[in-house]
Amino acid sequence: MEKTITITVPSYNVENTLKETVCSLLEPTVLNDLEILIVNDGSKDNTSSIAHSLEKQYPQTIRVIDKENGGHGSTINTGIKEAKGKYFKIVDGDDWLITEYLPNFIENLKNTEADLIYNPFYEVNDKTKERVMNGKFDSSFNQKNEYSFSMLAKRIKVQMHSATYKTSILKENNIHVDEHRFYVDAEYMIMPIPYVNTIQILNEPLYLYRVFSDTQSMSVKNMQKNVQHHLDVTLHMLEYYIKVRNSLSEEKEVYIRNRVLDLIQMQYQIYFSFPFDWRVTKDIAKFNKAIYEKDKKIYNESNGKMVRFIRIQPQIFYPLIKLREKVR
């Protein structure tokens, strides 16, 4: 029997949170509609044993896939390959869903053919437990309707935590993100867009995204440590945009271009976040050159205030940028 949704749970050393994550998905009234793929990415703790214990309790719903470590992207790729559900969603092994909203969510999936389902989500402060809603959309949109993605492209920014794709979109278009890299969420949110024609907007938040965790890849220290990963993903998505842009509607072209510009801006912010070091200016110069050689228009459009100054004369403006941050 085809499942309504496949929820892939990328799991690497999440022994402390995996049970909470998976249990948040196990709403009894929808178990027959769920396929939960726990993709254990070569964990070195008890993640695998916890996952297999859950699988034994719910063999018709949960399937564990143990694999060698390949990074977050490899768990996404594995999930897409193995998915049997009509729709596909990712819930990281240290996040969770609002269980009581699952029945309405899945009932909606049964009655729609939209390529992409959009929900707002909560960011949950890992230290204070405070919840902040992110991505709340105009409530005037009818939740039963499917809308043209191009029509909403200027008004929406889809993030991994808000997205549920139709599985066929991912499988039939060979969506495959980079492996052994952090920050591939950006690839997962950009690469399917050329094939997404319809979107449905739901008002209920579903995903609870843990933020301000010391182990999170988006922490400042980890972004500095993994700066090369973010650079690789940024340039990959710039190349992808260049490859597909002529085949896109004007609205989709602008949407993907803006997402690429966001990545470029974030790359500069990572460089600027490092303690004062003249070697950083060399990395920035290489990045500038890479963008310019790939696409002069994108180079010019990414010329924000601080970026413009440091491109003109890094020996003068780099120290001023660092001084400005210190004063702040």
Q: What is the pLDDT of residue 22?
A: 98
Q: What is the pLDDT of residue 218?
A: 57
| Three-state SS annotation for the chain | CCCCEEEEEEECCCCCCHHHHHHCCCCHHHHHHEEEEEEEECCCCCHHHHHHHHHHHCCCCEEEEEECCCCHHHHHHHHHHHCCCCEEEECCCCCEECHHHHHHHHHHHHCCCCCEEECCEEEEECCCCCEEEECCCCCCCCCCCCEEHHHHCCCCCCCHHHEEEEHHHHHHCCCCCCCCCCCCHHHHHHCCHHHCCEEEECCCCCEEEEECCCCCCCCHHHHHHCHHHHHHHHHHHHHHHHHHHHHCCHHHHHHHHHHHHHHHHHHHHHHHHCCCCCHHHHHHHHHHHHHHHHCHHHHHHCCCHHHHHHHHCHHHHHHHHHHHHHHC
pLDDT of 215 above 60: no
* Nearby residues of 292 by Cβ (< 8 Å), 6 or more positions away: 299
Ranking 94-98, 113-117, 152-156, 323-327 by mean pLDDT, the lowest is 323-327
Q: What residues form DSSP beta bridges with 207?
A: 97, 121
Split at pLDDT 50, 70, 90, the class of 324 is: low
pLDDT of 142 above 90: no
Contact 10, 72 (CB under 8 A): yes
CA 44 to chain centre: 24
Q: What is the per-residue pLDDT across 18-27, written as a single tens digit (0 to 9) for each?
A: 999 999 999 9
pLDDT of 280 above 90: no
Q: Which amino acid is at 158?
A: V
pLDDT of 62 above 80: yes
Comparing CA positions, the residue from 238, 309, 307, 252 lying closest to residue 115 is 252
Mean pLDDT over each residue of the chain, to the nearest integer: 92
Q: What is the pLDDT of residue 247?
A: 96
Q: What is the pLDDT of residue 217?
A: 52
Tokens representing residue 75 in the block: 């768990």
Q: What is the pLDDT of residue 1?
A: 57
- C-alpha 106/C-alpha 296 separation (Å) is 45
pLDDT of 224 above 90: no
Q: What is the pLDDT of residue 178?
A: 96
- C-alpha 57/C-alpha 1 separation (Å) is 20
Q: Which range has the top average pLDDT, 23-37, 133-147, 148-162, 201-215?
A: 23-37
Split at pLDDT 50, 70, 90, the class of 279 is: confident
Split at pLDDT 50, 70, 90, the class of 216 is: low
Q: Which amino acid is at 269?
A: Q
Percent of the chain with pLDDT over 70: 95
pLDDT of 212 above 80: no
* pLDDT, average across residues 239-258: 97
Q: What is the per-residue pLDDT across 67-97, written as a single tens digit (0 to 9) for each?
A: 999 999 999 999 999 999 999 999 999 999 9
Ranking 8-12, 238-242, 301-305 by mean pLDDT, the lowest is 301-305
Q: What is the pLDDT of residue 252?
A: 97
Residue 325 neighbours by CB distance under 10 Å? 11
Q: What is the pLDDT of residue 2?
A: 84
- C-alpha 52/C-alpha 237 separation (Å) is 36
Residue 67 neighbours by CB distance under 10 Å? 12
Split at pLDDT 50, 70, 90, the class of 325 is: low
Q: What is the pLDDT of residue 319?
A: 77
Contact 306, 268 (CB under 8 A): yes
Q: What is the pLDDT of residue 136?
A: 85
Q: What is the per-residue pLDDT across 103-136, written as a single tens digit (0 to 9) for each?
A: 999 999 999 999 999 999 999 998 898 999 998 8
Ranking 113-117, 173-177, 317-321 by mean pLDDT, the lowest is 317-321
